[in-house]
Amino acid sequence: MSINPSGWRPSLAANDTVQEPTGTVTGNRALTLEEPLLFELGTSDTCGVDLPVPDDAISPRLGGLERDEAIGLPGLSEPETVRHYTRLSRQNYAIDLGIFPLGSCTMKHNPRLNEKVARLPGFADLHPLQPEMTVQGALGVIAELGEWLLRLTAMAGVAMSPKAGAHGELCGILCIRAALEARGDAREVILVPESAHGTNPATAAFANYRVESIPGTPEGRVDLEALKARLGGDVAAVMITNPNTCGLFERDMKAISDATHAAGAFVYCDGANFNAIVGRVRPGDLGIDAMHINLHKTFSTPHGGGGPGSGPVVLSQALAPFAPLPFVVRTAEGYRLVEEETAADNGGVQAFGRMSAFHGQMGMFTRALAYILSHGADGLRQVAEDAVLAANYVLRSLDDVLDAPFGASGPCMHEALFSDRGFADGISTIDVAKALIDEGFHPMTMYFPLVVHGAMLIEPTECESKASLDQFIAALRHIAERARSGDSALSEAPIHAPRRRLDETLAARKPRLVWRD
Ligand SMILES: *Cc1c(COP(=O)(O)O)cnc(C)c1O
């Protein structure tokens, strides 16, 4: 390990493998720059801005709450701060650098037009408590986007305020609970098929339902007969991900909805994978009662690293009256934000409450509407078709070197699923993922869905050119061949990344955030 002239040492996570010596004084490798933690870099007597000396008169008013000693936050000048984060960003991977093959995540290109629109001061600088008459344009965007979502899904109502997919799931389940309570029908169980996304059972449990799993068929879809056999008077809802996390369309969706409704329960559909079917299938036609749409997946928006997101929920006629406040209505005088509602205003039933203090993510609304309007209805349909085509191209280009457990179930939808079957002893999925980093790609989703051993889930999206897909396929093919032949060097990967392989469990559970000797 080398010592930088300014005194810092490259930091190591508690469990980090020691880097190869660089042979440089700084630890840098040409344009790959080492970067210490802020805490190693800054000293608490430096500051990037000139702060006024606190007024003596303030101190008595703090009533003894002031700190006795410095808390040790690092101080940096503005150029040091800018360089720190810029250097770190160059060690990172981004959708603007290359394909992001994560499955179950829809990481797609974010058209610059959307970004430009979202940054217009009239949208970006709004305050949620501004008088209604000064935000008519913003309310109009929310209303128009909501109308598009209803048209694309053939549903009756939409709640725009949920701030992410999982938040939307909770909103939908709370609508279902409110509808059941309104008819005096306490039910305790939510059925979740094995092929559902992990947030589905988590949401059901969070909402105090008992989760029961429904098995899948060998071809990767919900076992309709098993579902029918379990339906009964204690079942509040069935939560289904469609297209599911095996990358397959649930063809029995209508039969599932009919059976669920016949048992007095509701159908929740996880619509995060709407990218694969938008413009082709309308969930309302399949009998779905509630479905969230991840605006940040289907309708672009940069996401990852925890945000931002937006998960509007479309609702059937039966659930729409229970949608949370607030919502936008179009009146002869303009748009109005409804913040309160009595049961008398609402056909005798009460909305269940609110999902968030304000209306939702304005930046996501503007991006999604810009995306929808620039594609148009025909363009959105082509998004779905191209996404499905790209995923099938990946699936069929690699199924001779990677095991495709549901390859015989027909074409996949938006994502291609492989297992670790056929890898030599001692080689596992994580080795393949780490080797992809050396080839300059973000790894695919690993070990999910759980129904497949050593799963590798790849969602190329519609945005990738054939040339970009071919490059990714060539890299993965090469790595798959190494995995089959038992190339033990795979377990060393990545060797070219800024950090070698971490013990990821330890790194997550015991992150080393402060350097100490
Ligand atoms: C992404 C995703 C979710 C969760 O959405 P968030 O916005 O991350 O909360 C739920 N289900 C599926 C299928 C997803 O892909």
Q: Which of 145, 165, 104, 144 is nearest to 290 (CA)?
A: 165
Amino acid at 151: R
293 lines ligand 1 (CB under 6 A): no
* 76, amino acid identity: L
Last residue of a domain, one of 322, 338, 369: 369
Give me the phi and psi of 241, to 5 degrees please.
Answer: -100, 120
Using the atom order of ligand 1, give the atom closest to the CA of residue 104.
Answer: 15
Q: Which numbered atom of ligand 1 lies nearest the CA of 309?
A: 7
Q: Give me 378's structure tokens.
A: 């025909």
Is residue 163 lining ligand 1, measured as CB closer than 6 Å?
A: no
**Residue span of the structural domain in which 390 resides:** 378-508
Residues 384, 473: one domain? yes
Q: At 306, is the secondary structure helix, strand, or coil?
A: coil
Same domain, 365 and 429: no
Q: Which residue's CA is minimally distant from atom 5 of ligand 1?
A: 165
**Shortest-distance Cα residue to atom 2 of ligand 1:** 272
Separation of CA 167 and ligand 1 centre (Å):
9
Q: For ligand 1, say whether the CB of 135 is within 6 Å of any of its atoms.
A: no
Contact indicator for 416, 404 with CB cutoff of 8 Å: yes
Q: Is 323 exposed, middle or buried (0-12, 13-18, 19+ CB in 10 A)?
A: buried
Question: pLDDT tens digits, the chain, 517 residues: what are they?
Answer: 333 444 444 444 444 445 567 788 888 888 888 888 888 887 777 788 888 887 777 777 787 787 888 777 888 888 989 999 999 999 889 999 999 999 988 999 999 999 999 999 999 999 999 999 999 999 999 999 999 999 999 999 999 999 999 999 999 999 999 999 999 999 999 999 998 999 999 999 999 999 999 999 999 999 999 999 999 999 999 999 999 999 999 999 999 999 999 999 999 999 999 999 999 999 999 999 999 999 999 999 988 766 689 999 999 999 999 999 999 999 999 999 998 888 877 778 888 899 998 888 899 999 999 999 999 999 999 999 999 999 999 999 999 999 999 999 999 999 999 999 999 999 999 999 999 999 999 999 999 999 999 999 999 999 999 999 999 999 999 999 999 999 999 999 999 998 889 888 888 898 876 655 4
What is the helix, strand, coil percentage profile of the chain, to 5?
Answer: 40, 10, 50
CA–CA separation, 156 and 314 (whole Å): 7
Residues 278 and 155 in one domain: yes
Give the distance (Å) from ligand 1 centre to CA of residue 68.
45
Dist. CA 401–CA 222, nearest whole Å: 28
Q: Is the CB of 104 under 6 A from ligand 1?
A: yes
Residue 159 CA to ligand 1 center (angstroms) comes to: 17
User: Considering the domain boundaries, does residue 413 fall inside one?
Assistant: yes
- How many distinct structural domains can be found in the chain? 3
Q: Are 338 and 397 found together in one domain?
A: no
Residues 230 and 269 grouped into a single domain: yes
| Residue in the structure block whose two tokens are 């190869």 | 20
Q: How far apart are the first and last CA of the chain?
A: 14
Ligand 1 centroid–CA 164 distance in Å is 8
Mutate to test the pocket of ligand 1, among 161, 197, 244, 445 (most ligand atoms within 8 A of CB): 197
Which CATH number do you get for residue 436?
A: 3.90.1150.10
104: region left, alpha or beta (phi > 0 left; psi from -120 to 50 alpha): left
Q: Please report, for the domain that includes residue 359, its CATH number.
A: 3.40.640.10
Counting atoms of ligand 1 from 1, which one is nearest the CA of 105? 15
Which helix (H) or strand (E) covers residue 398, if one does?
Answer: helix 362-398
Q: Which helix (H) or strand (E) holds 177?
A: helix 165-182
What pTM did the predictor assign?
0.90
User: How far apart are alpha carbons 248 and 415 in whole angstroms?
Assistant: 8
- Among 374, 357, 377, smallest CA distance to 366 is for 374
- Do 246 and 336 lie in one domain? The reply is yes
| Distance between Cα 169 and ligand 1 center (Å) | 9
